[in-house]
Structure 1
Amino acid sequence: MTGFRKASSEDIASVVSIYQKIHEEERKGKLKIGWLPDVYPVENTARAAFERQELFVFEEEGKITASAIINQSQVDVYADGIWQYPAKAEEVMVLHTLVVSPDEGRKGIGSKFVDFYETYAEARGCRVLRMDTNEKNAAARSLYRKLGYREAGAVPCVFNGIPNVNLILLEKELRK
């Protein structure tokens, strides 16, 4: 099977493995995301999202190569965003913790996952998409810009236990 789907409990180990590979690549200086091992993301990140039925994966030829959390939960610091597209909470879908295995990079999986997220949101009646990334994550910021997202501000915060983060808020309005 190839495609996007809600994660099963059996997928959690694969998702955690991707988190660990990303942490290792960042430790080696090959990636610059701004996450911390043993802080975020960790097994509990995936497990809690799975239990809320908000964890999604991309499976290719029987292997989980990407994951993300999709829900309507806006991070508290979103209140400080300079949003061009104001919306009621029920009109907003949020993408969190999009990860692609470093082994599978540069294959367009991240772009495909964002496309899946947009389709998922639209099917649920949402008209505004939001997400965030660490200011340090230049690769994600570039990808999101190419996919039509605009930066709606940088908010200093403690993010999921990571201190001194400048969180870049992003948004996009779905086609009307």
Structure 2
Amino acid sequence: MTIHLGTPYDLDTVMRLKGACVLRMQQMNIDQWDEAYPNRISFEEDINQGNLYLYSLDDLLIACAVLNENQDSEYQEVNWAYHAENIAVIHRLMVHPEYWGKGIASKLMSSIENIAVSMGYSIIRLDAFLKNPSAISLYTKLGYRHAGKVAFRKGQFMCFEKRIDGVSAVDFEKHGITVMHSA
């Protein structure tokens, strides 16, 4: 497995991954994503800002997530327990439905957390759609603290946070993950 930053060349593949995720979520009556969000423009911006991490297995994109510092204005309403000058935020995590239930999301989150540690972050925040029980369960299982709820266009979202300071970055190779660095 490899994790690397997305490039403009990856955009069409990312959009196909998003389409597969949306279709499966719709089949499960989870009306979280659609044509409006996340859209091609948001992924182009993620790529241009160097924030989109792709997780591949044998050159096949199976998951991705965004890691940046962008906190939606709604986050100001949340009673966060952890504070720091620079806080990492995870957005748009998705795993191809064929790989759901196989631990890929947990491995991707672990990789993203370790990348955040290596970049000097001590706290990660994120949110999950309340009507997506798998996402809520994942973040809870991974040790994220429930911090409150916010409302976005599609409804209520649970906010999560986790302290990652004092945690040393794990050896990716030990877990079968290769980090590819862009030139």
TM-score, normalisation: structure 1: 0.88
- What per-residue deviation string (whole Å, max 9, x for no partner) do you get for residues 89-139 of structure 1? x2x111100000001112211001110111111111111111111111110
From 48, 58, 76, the equivalent of 2:73 is 76
Within-5 A mapping of 1:66-145: 66-88=63-85, 90=86, 92-145=87-140
- Describe the SS at the equivalent of 1:17: helix
What residue is the counterpart of 1:60 in the other structure? 57
State the 4+ residue runs in structure 1 displaced beyond 4 angstroms: none
Cα deviation, residue 6, structure 1:
0.4
**Contact kept? 2:121, 2:165, Cα under 8 Å:** no
- Count of matched residue pairs: 166
| Structure 1 unpaired stretches of 5+ | none
Percent sequence identity is 27
Structure 2 residue matching 1:103: 3-state secondary structure: helix
| Residue in 1 that maps onto 2:149 | 154
Whole-angstrom CA distance in 1 between matches of 2:71 and 2:133: 22
CA drift of 1:28 comes to: 2.2
Q: TM-score, normalised by structure 2?
A: 0.85
Gaps (5+ residues) in structure 2? 167-183
How has the CA–CA distance of structure 1 residues 156 and 37 changed in structure 2, closer, same or farther, with 3 Å as cutoff? closer
Residue 37 of structure 1, CA deviation: 2.1
